[in-house]
Each structure stands twice: as structure tokens, then as C-alpha cells.
Structure 1
Amino acid sequence: MRCTTLVSLAVAVAVAQSLAVPVSPNEEPSAITKRDLQGLIDSLRDGIELDDIKQSVLPDFLSWDYTTNEIQEKLGMGGIILDRLPMEFLNIPGYANYSNGQWVLRIHGQSYKQALPINGEPSPVSQSALDNAANVFLPDVDIAELPSNEQANARNLTSAVLSIPQGDVSLDFTVRISSTQPQSDFPSTGGWENRFTWPRRTDSRGEIDGFVSLYSTASGQLPSGQTSDGIVRLDITTPSTSTGNATAYLVPPEGYTILSDIDDILRVTKIYTPKEGLLNTFARDFVPWLNMPEIFATWASQHPDNPYHFHYLTTTPEQATRMYEDFIYATYPQGSFDTRPLNFTTFDQTFNVRRTLLNKILETFPRRRFILVGDTTNSDVMTHYPAVAQEFPNVHCILMRNTSATDPENRFPYNTKGFKELDERRYMFFRTPEDLRGLDFGRGDCRKPGLEERVSGGWMGLPWGGERGDAAAAGGKEKVWWVVYAAVGVVGIMTGF
């Protein structure tokens, strides 16, 4: 299943994504029907629009789904080996809002088993089996050809991607004020702690996602959400596992939240060149994009009396979350996370993964003001960011990296149609992190004086150097070009790449 061309991979991923989107916790995935598939084929025959191509080839490529039996077969794992593996829980860093006089915490994550060494014993999966699995995700290169650190990266991420979901699991949680939270900030917290059992067992994909109320206790009090301006860190542990630890955040009802995508805005991924994108995701060490960490660090210290809340929203499937968390927490301000769940639903909701997650956090904090950060290579960001800005008045600003302006390898056009009706004072297209220096959201900034990046309101960065102001029209060269992409891609899918 080697991916050797941008054409087949780009459209193959679009099809894979179209068959995989999240549902609510404990809801079983519905089957994809022949009618659904025929609808996709018809849309390709009629001429596919750029909105229908998910330009985020990576990491959405990881949305390929494996059954438990397929994973065990791929890794050479029998039932006895699986029984010996410890139960683990991926606890994704969440956020809590203050509602109706109490804090309400979102907990989401996945229960799973993973082919890693047990208590210092040798791995239950041979290295050759893991290497064969890793080679599936490595384009035109064998894992043996990589440097030792990249081999380790590829094995670790492959093991995570092919972890085995555990359904029907009961989970207990303990929540405390974080040991890293200065107690002098909230002296009344004392020994506050909450313990509870999640009200539902994990679904068929091992997942849970929902909100739970937190209560003050006789031994300690929670900060008042009505008066607190600070972000309070919480430690969450899952006692039945060794990996279910995470940090969550009490986020006041008012203030500023910086919500950012990760790939090609916070780190170098190059999702627009699939071979590089796959290597940068599966093998190479994560590298920050230029001096973006410095810009984020400046924002983190900008208003110590009312600090910004940071939220990282990526459609990376949750199996790869730990790698992304490790990179973010070592390089950028700590914050909550959203990633792509495994549970899938109907064909009609194909392209709403990011929009669903955006809606959730924007509706949770209606009085906070949001700064959305992304880049032009991501078509769903280009669509959903301006769309939510039209719907939610609490979207204060959109900051978009114009990737094609600084990276000649990016040959994907991008559609600025969504920004056509948006007040230009509410967004800014920029080229390098330096263009963001000096922005102070607390004083209402969004655009940097003197920085003018023209936005046509239609297609920009077209491969022949042209532009289209009428983004609704799909005729002409644009349609021909993407029909070619789609046709070749479908052939790639039918032939197994």
C-alpha cells in the first residue's frame, strides 16, 4: 500500500476521509452503503470542487481504519498476547467552563492496548513485524534506510496508530488542582479533589467524550468562576491505567482563547508534498516552523493578570495525539487539545470533523473571544474558519499563514471565498511569524498596520499563475485540473495505490 504520487494519495485520502467522521459517545458507527459510494463516484464524474478535496493529506491519511483482527494479523499478535497487554487510556487534555454556578469539565479519550514491551519484558511483537507495518506509511523508503532516531519514531507512531481499541471498559478518574499550579494564586483550594466513575462504558472504538460537573468539597474549594480571571490547571489520572494522566484547564467565562491548528503553522509538515509529509509525520523529529514558538511565548506572557487560554485543534487521529502533545508541550504554551475521534457516522457529515469541534468549544465559551490560527494549505480551515466567524460573534480574529507565498513546493491553490463577506478587520493573511510580532489581542488587535496581503475572494495560487474571483464557478481550467486529479486518484484507489 505504498503511496507514490501526489495525485493518487490526495484523492485517496479524500475518499478515506469521506468515509470516516465522528459520532457522539457510545453511538455505534453506521455502515457505509453502496448508495453513499455511488454518490461519491457521481460527484467525481460531474467535476469535483476544491472544497471536496481535503488538502490536508497528512495527517488525515491516518484516518484509514483497521479492525482489531486486522491489527492483530498485521502485527502477528494472537489472543493470548492481547490478553497479556495492559489496558491503557489516552486522556486528551480538556477544558472546563463555568456554567450555572459550577465548573463543568470535558473529558475525552480512548481505551486501548498497544504492542509495547510489558514490565521490562521483550515486546510481544517482533521488530520485523512492526517494521513491515511501518513501511506501509513510509513512501519509497524502507525503515532500515532511515537513521536510528527516525526508525524509532516510525516504530513508535506505527505502534500507536495500530493500537487496539478496547470497548465496554469502565473508567475511574481522579481530578486535583495541579501540583504545578501556584497555590498562592488560589489559597482557598486546599486539598480539593474529585473522584468519579465515568457514567458510560467505552464505546466500540474504546472512546468516551462528554462533560462532568466538578464540586467543591469539605477539604478544599474550587476557584469561583464568577471572579477568577486566571487559567487553573488540573491533574487528571485514571487509576486503572499507567498512561491515563493528563492536564485539564479551568477556563474563565471571559477572556481570550488562541485556537490553533498544528501542521504547517506550528510545525513543519509539508502536507502539500505527500512524500515529505509522510516522512515528517512518521519518521522525522517534529520541527517548529521558524520562530513561531517565540511568538506564542510572547502571547502567553502578554497579560499575566488575565492570561490567554491556548487550545490546539488538529484533525490528526487521536492515536497520534501523544506525539503531538509531546511536541506542543515542549515547544509551545500548555493548553487543551482536540483531535479526530475514531468513531464514524453518516456520509452527509463527511467534511464536518473540524467544524464539529469548532462549534463545540465556541458554544462552550460564548463570552470568550477567539483567535483562530491556521494556514492556506488546509481546505477545511479555509472553509470553516470564516464560516464560524460569520456565525459566532465571539470569533475575534482569524490569522492565516499564506503558505504558498513562502514555500515554492506548495502548488495547491486555495479558496478565499469564505472571506469575501467577512469584515477585513477580522482576519489577516501573513507570510512569516515576524508578521505577527506586536499583535496584542487584549487591546483588540487583529491586523498589523502596514501589512497588506491581498485576498481576492476566490481561487488564489492556481497552478498556472491565475486567479478566479468567482469562487462559485467550477468551469474552465480549475474544473478540468481537478477532474484529472480525481480520475487518476480513483484509479489509484481501485488498484490499491
Structure 2
Amino acid sequence: MALQRLLPVSLLVAQALGAAYPVITPAPSLEDRDEALKRDIDPGSYIGSIINSLGSGVSSYIASGVPQFFQDFPIGEDVEKALDIDDDDLKATPTQVLNIPGYANWTESGWSVRIHGNVFKQPNITQEKLDSLANKFLIGVDINDLPENQQDQARNFTASIFVVQQQNVSVTVNFQNDVNVRPDASGGVVNAKGGAQSIDLPYNTTSEGDFDAWLTLRNTTGPNGGHLLAGNATEQIQALNIYTNGTDTGNATAYLVPPTGFTIISDIDDILRVTKIYDPKEGLLNSFARPFVAWEDMPDIYANWSATIPNFHFHYLTTTPEQVTRNYMDFIYKTYPLGSFDTRPLNFSDVSATLSIRKALLDKIFQTFPQRKFVLVADTSNSDVMKDYPQMVRDFPGQVQCIFLRNTTATDSSDLFPYDTSGFKGIDQKQYMFFVNADDLRGVDIVGGNCYNPAVKQNVTFEYQGRGFGNDAGRAIDWSWMTLYAGLLVTLGQVLL
């Protein structure tokens, strides 16, 4: 099956490029994802060993901080079974595309841009059926008891989960010079003056409907006679909008990032928005029903960094599954600076795979930009972050400029998970900071490499800690509460598809 092709964009003669930066983007490989799954993942939490008898799924969840309600979403035939439909019912349904904003690096062949996303069909689902499905993602509340705007959000979120991915589909994308750049809110991004063209992806979608490929851009002439700037001749981040042929749903933006400069890799849940993944009932409501709300003054913090750090590349990395990332991207682009995105592909579905995908995506962008400096931002509720972020300092010497981690246990009494700070042992304190409030980040100097605000107390013990730093870092966990909590997760796991 193929998406309906539009007439090719009219292309003009390519212009000669300057001397190329000798960094080659690795060739795309479908095996890369499988290799990531083979990594030796060991959450290593004593909590898991104590409550392991409650079930491996629950203990893995508690050990990892990964939201259980974002695991094991139905795909393909499972969706068809849940909705009692078949391929014939979908024939008249238009094909849609989720195109995730990507980044491009400069190579000896010119700009190489990563295009990734998913092709799917949205079944026609009655409101009654949507409500029934949505209720499976809510605890202690019926969708009809929610305010009207939250009912709409829950239905929209649920509908985005129950889609049927389309395999073996050819995808063609059009690049255009029409990015709407917001002054002082885009990290120095500028609308590219050339590079409009149409390119077929080199292979069809996977069995999960995914596509992920690197494409080399020709330096075509823009509408006013302009061209793409060579990556070794500019510090500016150029942007091109991407449109997918045959549908008006596959729109995204590609960011052409020069070899040197600063890139921030930011998590989203519980650092840029209020999620509370460690509290199932609140986490579900905040994700499926309630409007997304920014956490404290983080939009102002990011806007300030965008305006004051020259050509700051913003990259948002979330292990949320692809199906539900439209809401995430919409929230980010209405609230935070423009930037590229990474999400969890559909074949990374269980807890161990989720724990591996963050490191795989981090490795990919670090390897793609070996001369850029990276700022890593997240929170302490994810064990993969607590393990992977300090490991990046060791795996990529000189590339990690700063690590900023929100201590969720210090600001939210519902987060009883301990977190392991042992990975930070031996790392210069100037390179990282655990913070409590967004305003703590105002006293740091990212460009100067002083990432620690002395006014923010640390007391890092390089072991398991919890309930804030200081005397209560080793506070005993209320295991009776944790047992009830785990029981709630077991119940939740039984109602999820």
C-alpha cells in the first residue's frame, strides 16, 4: 500500500556547498532498535526485591518510575479486536501520519535530516464505545462525572491510542520554507532560505507502522533566491517545515543543527508539566483528562535560556509512546521554545524496553553531534534517568555540560519512591544539580559551565535517597502504604488492555 503521491515540488538547480564537516550520520538500520532491547537492563532497586512477590510487572514499575498506564497499549490487530472491526471496515478510512519533529546534522554530503514517525488509520468509534474505553484508564471516576472539557480530552486521548498502524507503506515528504519562528522563544531558530524539495523515504513502514530514516537535502534555491547555509559556515539553527504527501496530518518541523554549540535534552513529565507519574490516580487524570499544566516557572526558565544562550537547540525526549505524543507536542509548542522531539517507538512496549530506549535515543543524538555540548534536564522519579544521565558523562567525555534534576520527593508528598544517586559519585559538583523549585535554575551559568547554584542544598549521599535530601534522605519507607499502592497497580494492570 502507498500513500497517494502529490505532484513533486518544483526544484531548482542545486548550489555548490562549502567544505563539509567530516561527520557522517550513521546509516539507518531497523536492527538498531532490536539491539537496544538486548541491553542489560537492571533497575536494581531494593524496593523491587522486597515486593517482587506482588508480580514482576508491579515490581518493575515501582523500581523504574515508569508510568504503568503508558505500557502495553494495544496496536494493530489488538485494536481491531477491541473495536470489533476488520481491514474491510478501515478501507474507506483515510490514512494519517504522525510526523515527529526531527533534527539534521552537517556531513560531507551536506545536511542529513532524520525523519521519523508513524502511519496509521483512525477507526470510526462511537462516543459510547470511546467512553467505555476511556473509563479503563481512569481510577475511581467515570468519564461522565468529569467536567466537559476533561471529557473531551479523555475521548481525544483514548482515540489516539486506538488507532491501527499501517505496515509496508511508502512515505514521501515535502520540505518547505514556511516555519513560523517566534522571536526570543525559539533558541535562535531561523526559517531556512532554501532547501524546498520532495523526497521518498528509502524504505516502507515497519510492521508497527513506524518509519525512521536519514535523508540528504539538496541545497535548492528558496523563494527569494536564498539557499541553505552550510553547517560549517553558520552557527544558526535553520528550520524547514515537513509535509507528508497524501494527507494533511503529517506535518512537522526539521531543525538543521550546526556541529558546535549547546543542545538541551529535556524530559517532559514532572519537569515541564505536572504529571505525577508516581501517583496512579492523579497521573492518569493529568495525562488522560485534565489539560496539560506547566510545572512552576519552567516556561519562563526555558524562554530565558532561549533568549540568552546563542543558538540553543532544544530537544524534547520522552519515553511516552508515539500514539499519545500529539498532545505532548501541542503543549510544548504552545508553552516552550521550538525544538526537535524523540518519543518511544511502538516496538518498545514493556518496562525493560522503556528503560532501554532513553539511553538508545541519548546515544543517537550524542553520536550525531560529537562536538556539541549537552544540557540534560529531568527529575528523580525515573530510574533510567538516574542511571543514564551520569553514565553519559562517562560515555561521552567533554560533551555533557550540565545535568539538572528536579527532586520530586522534596516537593510532592505523594512521591515515596527512593532514587539512586550513586551514579553521580566522582562527577564534579559544578556539572550537576538536584533542585527543588524552578527558580533554583536562575542562579546557574550554563555557557560558563557552572551548573550548580550554591544556594540550593544538595547533601547527595551517592546511594538510595528519598523524601528530600538531608536527615530524611534515608527515611524508612512505609511498606504498608507501598503494599496498598502496589495492589492498586495490580488492579490497574487488570483493567488496561
Mark yes or no: TM-score above 0.5: yes
What's the CA shift for 1:215? 1.6
- The answer for the alignment partner of 2:11 in structure 1 is none
Mapped to 2, the partners of 1:453 and 1:50 lie a distance apart of 29
Is the 1:458–1:467 contact (alpha carbons within 8 Å) kept by the matching residues of 2?
A: no
Q: Larger relative contact order (C-alpha < 8 A, sep ≥ 6)?
A: 1
- The answer for the alignment partner of 2:65 in structure 1 is 56
What's the CA shift for 1:29? 7.6
- The answer for the alignment partner of 2:240 in structure 1 is 234
Deviation digits for residues 144-185 of structure 1 (CA, Å, limit 9, x no counterpart):
111110010001110101111000100001113334359xx9
Correspondence 1:454 to 2:453: no
Deviation digits for residues 380-420 of structure 1 (CA, Å, limit 9, x no counterpart):
11111111122112011100111111211211111111112
Secondary structure of 1:443's match?
coil
Secondary structure of 2:447's match?
helix
- The answer for the alignment partner of 1:299 in structure 2 is 305
Mapped to 1, the partners of 2:51 and 2:330 lie a distance apart of 40
Correspondence 1:342 to 2:346: yes
Mapped to 2, the partners of 1:188 and 1:313 lie a distance apart of 23
Deviation digits for residues 57-99 of structure 1 (CA, Å, limit 9, x no counterpart):
43x5223142423312323434443111100110000000112
Mapped to 1, the partners of 2:413 and 2:483 lie a distance apart of 22
- The answer for the alignment partner of 2:93 in structure 1 is 85
Is the 2:262–2:373 contact (alpha carbons within 8 Å) kept by the matching residues of 1?
A: yes
Mapped to 1, the partners of 2:140 and 2:352 lie a distance apart of 35
- Single out whichever of 319-328 and 206-215 deviates more from structure 2: 206-215
- The answer for the alignment partner of 2:412 in structure 1 is 407
Letter in 2 for 1:71: V
Cα 1:113–1:52 shift into 2, 3 Å: closer
Is the 1:313–1:337 contact (alpha carbons within 8 Å) kept by the matching residues of 2?
A: yes
Deviation digits for residues 15-69 of structure 1 (CA, Å, limit 9, x no counterpart):
xxxxxxxx95389989x9xxx9xxx9999469999888454343x5223142423
- The answer for the alignment partner of 2:171 in structure 1 is 171
Secondary structure of 2:374's match?
strand
Letter in 1 for 2:79: I
Q: Let me know the Cα RMSD of the aligned residues.
A: 3.6
Letter in 1 for 2:452: R
- The answer for the alignment partner of 1:474 in structure 2 is none
Mapped to 1, the partners of 2:490 and 2:449 lie a distance apart of 50
Correspondence 1:197 to 2:205: no
- The answer for the alignment partner of 1:214 in structure 2 is 217
- The answer for the alignment partner of 2:251 in structure 1 is 245
Is the 2:348–2:357 contact (alpha carbons within 8 Å) kept by the matching residues of 1?
A: no
1:95 pairs with one of 64, 88, 103: 103
Letter in 2 for 1:302: T
What's the CA shift for 1:379? 1.4
Is the 2:190–2:239 contact (alpha carbons within 8 Å) kept by the matching residues of 1?
A: no
Correspondence 1:436 to 2:419: no
What's the CA shift for 1:349? 5.5
Instruction: Please report the TM-score for the alignment, with normalisation by the length of structure 2.
Output: 0.81
- The answer for the alignment partner of 1:157 in structure 2 is 157
Mapped to 2, the partners of 1:146 and 1:491 lie a distance apart of 24
Is the 1:259–1:312 contact (alpha carbons within 8 Å) kept by the matching residues of 2?
A: yes
Mapped to 2, the partners of 1:391 and 1:354 lie a distance apart of 15
Secondary structure of 2:323's match?
helix
1:322 pairs with one of 303, 312, 326: 326
Is the 1:54–1:380 contact (alpha carbons within 8 Å) kept by the matching residues of 2?
A: no
Deviation digits for residues 187-244 of structure 1 (CA, Å, limit 9, x no counterpart):
9965531211111010100001121111213665311100211111110010111101
Is the 1:161–1:319 contact (alpha carbons within 8 Å) kept by the matching residues of 2?
A: yes
Letter in 2 for 1:292: M
Letter in 2 for 1:343: N
Secondary structure of 2:276's match?
coil
Mapped to 1, the partners of 2:316 and 2:113 lie a distance apart of 17
Residues paired across the two proteins, number: 447
Is the 2:374–2:401 contact (alpha carbons within 8 Å) kept by the matching residues of 1?
A: yes
What's the CA shift for 1:494? 8.9
- The answer for the alignment partner of 2:13 in structure 1 is none
Cα 1:359–1:51 shift into 2, 3 Å: farther
- Single out whichever of 212-221 and 391-400 deviates more from structure 2: 212-221
Cα 1:486–1:433 shift into 2, 3 Å: closer
- Single out whichever of 321-330 and 71-80 deviates more from structure 2: 71-80
Is the 1:47–1:482 contact (alpha carbons within 8 Å) kept by the matching residues of 2?
A: no
The equivalences for 1:238-387 within 5 A come to 238-303=244-309, 306-344=310-348, 351-387=355-391
Mapped to 2, the partners of 1:127 and 1:214 lie a distance apart of 44
Correspondence 1:25 to 2:30: yes
Deviation digits for residues 347-403 of structure 1 (CA, Å, limit 9, x no counterpart):
985631111111111111111100100111111111111111221120111001111
- Structure 1, unpaired ranges of 5+: 1-22, 116-123, 470-476
Cα 1:51–1:364 shift into 2, 3 Å: farther
Cα 1:391–1:250 shift into 2, 3 Å: same
Cα 1:196–1:491 shift into 2, 3 Å: closer
Letter in 2 for 1:89: V
1:111 pairs with one of 119, 128, 132: 119
What's the CA shift for 1:267? 0.4
Is the 2:69–2:137 contact (alpha carbons within 8 Å) kept by the matching residues of 1?
A: no
What's the CA shift for 1:447? 1.2
Cα 1:414–1:41 shift into 2, 3 Å: closer
What's the CA shift for 1:487? 8.4
Letter in 1 for 2:202: P
Letter in 2 for 1:172: T
Letter in 2 for 1:353: I
Is the 1:254–1:369 contact (alpha carbons within 8 Å) kept by the matching residues of 2?
A: yes
Secondary structure of 2:214's match?
strand
Instruction: Please report the TM-score for the alignment, with normalisation by the length of structure 1.
Output: 0.81
Mapped to 1, the partners of 2:434 and 2:135 lie a distance apart of 37
What's the CA shift for 1:101? 4.8
Is the 1:269–1:277 contact (alpha carbons within 8 Å) kept by the matching residues of 2?
A: yes
Is the 1:302–1:440 contact (alpha carbons within 8 Å) kept by the matching residues of 2?
A: no
